[in-house]
């Protein structure tokens, strides 16, 4: 067996956590990204993890989704999550590009 080394790529794994207060809903949003300095212009966000709390008590994902949709209508949860993801991803990238 012959193994030939071709190249080594150095990258950074980034994780930034944000706390969001939206009325009685609290959200802990963690953005996960990878970046190759000198190769990529900006980090590549590959995940945003959201944890929801109501009145400071953490909620189960499925229960929160069901409650949100029942309160605000079908697909309201998906729209809410998309909005939060867009906000935190934009904030993360804006901060990172300024540094």
* pLDDT one-digit tens code per residue, 15-70: 999 999 999 999 999 999 999 888 788 899 999 999 999 998 999 999 999 999 99
* pLDDT one-digit tens code per residue, 24-34: 999 999 999 99
pLDDT score of 81 more than 70: yes
Q: What is the pLDDT of residue 66?
A: 96
d(CA 50, CA 29): 5
d(CA 93, CA 1): 44
């Amino acid at each position: 067996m012959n193994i030939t080394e071709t190249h080594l790529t150095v990258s950074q794994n980034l994780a930034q956590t944000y706390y969001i207060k939206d009325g009685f809903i609290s959200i802990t949003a963690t953005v996960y990204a990878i970046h190759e300095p000198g190769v990529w212009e900006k980090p590549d966000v590959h995940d945003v993890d959201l944890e929801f709390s109501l009145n400071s008590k953490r909620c189960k994902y499925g229960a929160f989704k069901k409650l949100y949709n029942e309160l605000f209508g079908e697909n309201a949860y998906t729209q809410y999550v998309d909005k939060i993801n867009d906000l935190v991803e934009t904030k993360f990238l804006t901060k990172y590009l300024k540094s």
